[in-house]
Chains A and B, each alone.
Chain A
Amino acid sequence: MSTNCVRNSLGRLVPREIRGLGAVEPFSGPYARLDGSFIWTASPVSRRVPTISANKVVSSLRAAIERSGLQNGMTISFHHHLRNGDAIVSLVLSELEKMGYRDLTLAPSSLGDSHDCVADAIKKGLVTRLNTSGVRGEVGKAISNGYLESPAIIRSHGGRARAIEEGSLKIDVAFLGAPACDRLGNMTGVIGNTACGSLGYAMVDARYASHVIAITDNLVDYPLSPRISIPQYLVDQVVVVDSIGDPSKIATGATRITRDPLQLYIAELAFKVIKASGYLKNDCSFQTGGGGPSLAVARYVRDYMKSNSIKGSYCIGGITGYMADMLKEGLFRTLFDVQSFDAAVIDSIAHNPNHVEADASWYANPFNKGCLVNDLDVVVLAALDVDIDFNVDVLTGHDGILRGASGGHSDTAAGAKLALITIPSMRNGVPSIRERVQTIVTPGETIDVIVTERGIAVNPRREDLIARLKDSGLPIKNIHQLKKDIEAITGIPEEISFQNEIVGIVEYRDGTIIDSIRKV
């Protein structure tokens, strides 16, 4: 594999050809294809036209699979809106195994803690290729240990939408979990015992897959109300099962703000950077995640906007109940919800017309005619590691094993005017600022500020920001100095040794290859 590799513009050795994907281009800059000259062609979708009187509700999952025309070697997809409660992936893989399928490409929008069954499917040869945004647990180990026949392809949320629309990721059969569905296939995630909120990722699959199977445990009277997230004309079959997932792990309560003093302190520093940057003003747009210090940053932003009577434009991304409260308070005009992070958003998304269910392409596909991330003012992001060039790794842990998700990281960083990383300076005694990160997911050119509890580094490319933060009283440090200060406590860890074999590639949002992941 390494003989057919080339160094991309970040100096990373990446393959020129990938089985199942064909020839690929090396990364050559985050905006290389966004200068107005690049021509992009969306792929036409071929589908079998059903008979006019077809009954979509089938008696069993097996019958639905048989009717879908799925064959060995084809590509199947899933969404990850059911979070850690998802039972659809294991249900379908188990049925496919019983039916004797082999050599499938699995292309979920992401995989989480409930998907260790995928590792078994890989080891048994049921799944031989994997396209995903993220992996956890046993699946990460299976990939890093080289069990897949072809390298896993890691895409951002925007990159996946692009790949599906252009046909480089061609989905043959999409198995879409539906917390509520009617007999003609209208479905939504905003009601039902297993309500999960937005179906933003699934919308793209439904639109472009050759065959769509809705799987529900809540068949409702036609037509579905109060909301149709994915309309009937995109759905071929409806299967009713006992359960699509564990409600206690899907409908988790409101995500709570961290009480960890270190994370709170990092959040406070991040907020002060945002405030000093000047971007937090009327009509601003904002994105933050649901974990770590992210939600705590949102709390500071909320208090500041309230006390200064600031009214923002929109929030996007993974949406928490906290953001829904900010919408209710009038701090933002609109929430664009691609993925709901907690059940506290359900009421808002179902009843507030300004809480908009947005699909992944609208959210972040760099090649459509204007995705939401392009107009972002501020995004607060997490990271596993960063390096002195501000490159970010959100995929590989300190042991080199895959255990993260690309998500909307590189999409939002590329679009936002201020992309800010919050990261503890060390984890388990290992420093978080490295000479070079193990795996680049988000290029440093798109990251503006790194906030740790031991200092804040501003990307030297952002001279304007450096000038604005100069008199803020914040602990701004050169990134080399910050790295040195942290290493004075932790020491410098030894590099992990990898084998030559490439077990995964990280595709940048524009389809070029930004990095490769090697066998551990």
Chain B
Amino acid sequence: MSKAFQKHSMRSLLYIPGNNPSMLQNCAIYGADAVIMDLEDSISISEKDSARNLVKHALRDLDFGDMSIIVRVNARDTPYFEQDIEEIIPASPDAIRLPKVDSASDVLAADELISRLEEINGLPKGKIGIQAMLETARAIINVNSIAASSPRLVGLTLGGQDLAADLGIRATKEGYELIYAKSAVIIAAKAFGLQAFDTVFTDVNDPEGLRTQTELSFALGFSGKAAIHPSQVSIINSVYTPDPKELAKAIKIVTAAREAEQKGQGVIAVDGRMVDAPVVSQALRILELARLAGMEVSEL
């Protein structure tokens, strides 16, 4: 599997306040697949400049290993947005997380700015992805056009707290009240080949609550989930880790499918049961998750 693929397959995305040098320095040790260096909600107005500076230098100077590096900038309607993009893009993160995306035009505006900066800084065109955060009812009804808006878009996610506020409802631990919005985001993302990430679980002292909610995220089809504390990372990863028996079966299916393909056979059977394309596709996803979890998967 290529490194690039690994870098973009993300079960856990750890938020780190962009103004905390020690957390930035240590963020790679907790086992998250991605870090989201935050310049937005966790940073007070008086700290915006120093956070931006710190993140810029961290991107240039620190070694984050195989983690994907995402920077959450401030929203388009704030006075910080353009400066965030202008200073962060030259440091070449893997993606920008764009908050408060209400429509395709928000993505396109960011895309245009990033494209210009990529060119000026000699970066490969389209190298830096965009993750769009949908945080309002309006965004949810526009989800399909947002998902289709730009080839630079690599993922969609929800802003759970803001969305609940916009809907005038209270966000619960289980998160059932956002099921429709979550499903809408997942289906739009899948339809356009994007990843879909679930919103954070805010109670850092409730590991069981996080596990339950992450199990729901996984069942619904989210590619991964954001964490607001390092202790949440291992729980999220464990929910996304296949059972060894499930993995063994997936290996059998993929091996049989490859052999059938080489022999030009159509329908195949594994352990006496018919295996068709959707089953193979599910098995491939299990192999991908197993590799992310560091489980032994022989090259297929």
Contacts and interface: CB of A to CB of B under 8 A. Distances in A.
Contacts of A268: 231, 234
Contact of A264 (B22, B23, B25, B230): B230
B176 interface: no
Given A261-B30, A265-B30, A473-B294, A489 B230 contact: no
B229 A261 contact: yes
A457 B230 CA distance: 22
A264 B294 CA distance: 22
* Best-buried of B22, B29, B230, B231 by chain A (most CB within 10 Å): B29
A68 to B, nearest CB: 52
Nearest to B23: A261
Main secondary structure of the interface of B (DSSP, over half): helix
Contacts of B294: 473
Interface string A254-290: 0000000110110010000000000000000000000
B26 A262 contact: yes
A502 B22 CA distance: 37
Nearest to A428: B22
A453 B231 contact: no
Interface string A408-438: 0000000000000000000000000000000
B231 A261 contact: yes
Nearest to A268: B234
Nearest to A259: B204
A262 B16 CA distance: 13
B25 A489 contact: yes
A454 interface: yes
Nearest to A264: B231
A54 B26 CA distance: 65
Given A261-B23, A453-B29, 10 more contacts: A261-B26, A261-B230, A261-B231, A262-B22, A264-B231, A265-B230, A453-B26, A454-B29, A473-B294, A489-B25
Nearest to A454: B29
Interface of A: 261-262, 264-265, 268, 453-454, 473, 489
Contacts of B230: 261-262, 264-265
A454 B27 CA distance: 11
Interface string B217-242: 00000000000011100100000000
Contacts of A264: 230-231
Interface of B: 22-23, 25-26, 29-30, 229-231, 234, 294
Nearest to B234: A268
Contacts of B23: 261
Contacts of B22: 262
A473 B296 CA distance: 11
A268 B229 CA distance: 14
A471 to B, nearest CB: 10
A261 B22 CA distance: 11
A114 B30 CA distance: 38
A261 B205 CA distance: 12
22 contacts: A261-B23, A261-B26, A261-B30, A261-B229, A261-B230, A261-B231, A262-B22, A262-B26, A262-B230, A264-B230, A264-B231, A265-B29, A265-B30, A265-B230, A265-B231, A268-B231, A268-B234, A453-B26, A453-B29, A454-B29, A473-B294, A489-B25
* Best-buried of A262, A264, A454 by chain B (most CB within 10 Å): A262
A453 B30 CA distance: 8
B208 to A, nearest CB: 11
Contacts of B26: 261-262, 453
A265 B26 CA distance: 11
A381 to B, nearest CB: 21
Contacts of B229: 261
A473 B23 CA distance: 24
A447 to B, nearest CB: 22
Contacts of A262: 22, 26, 230
Contacts of A489: 25
Nearest to B294: A473
B225 to A, nearest CB: 17
A402 B231 CA distance: 34
Nearest to A296: B231
A454 B25 CA distance: 11
A454 B230 CA distance: 15
Contacts of A261: 23, 26, 30, 229-231
B210 to A, nearest CB: 14
A264 B26 CA distance: 13
A473 B238 CA distance: 14
Contacts of A265: 29-30, 230-231
* Best-buried of A261, A265, A268, A473 by chain B (most CB within 10 Å): A261
A262 B25 CA distance: 11
**A-B pairs, 8 with minimum CB distance:** A261-B230, A453-B29, A264-B231, A262-B26, A265-B30, A265-B230, A454-B29, A261-B229
Nearest to A455: B29
A453 B28 CA distance: 10
A478 B148 CA distance: 50
Nearest to A266: B29
Contacts of A454: 29
A264 B235 CA distance: 14
A262 B26 CA distance: 8
B190 to A, nearest CB: 32
A7 to B, nearest CB: 39
B30 to A, nearest CB: 6
A297 to B, nearest CB: 14
A264 B230 CA distance: 9
A268 B30 CA distance: 11
A301 B11 CA distance: 27
A201 to B, nearest CB: 36
A398 to B, nearest CB: 17
A126 to B, nearest CB: 43
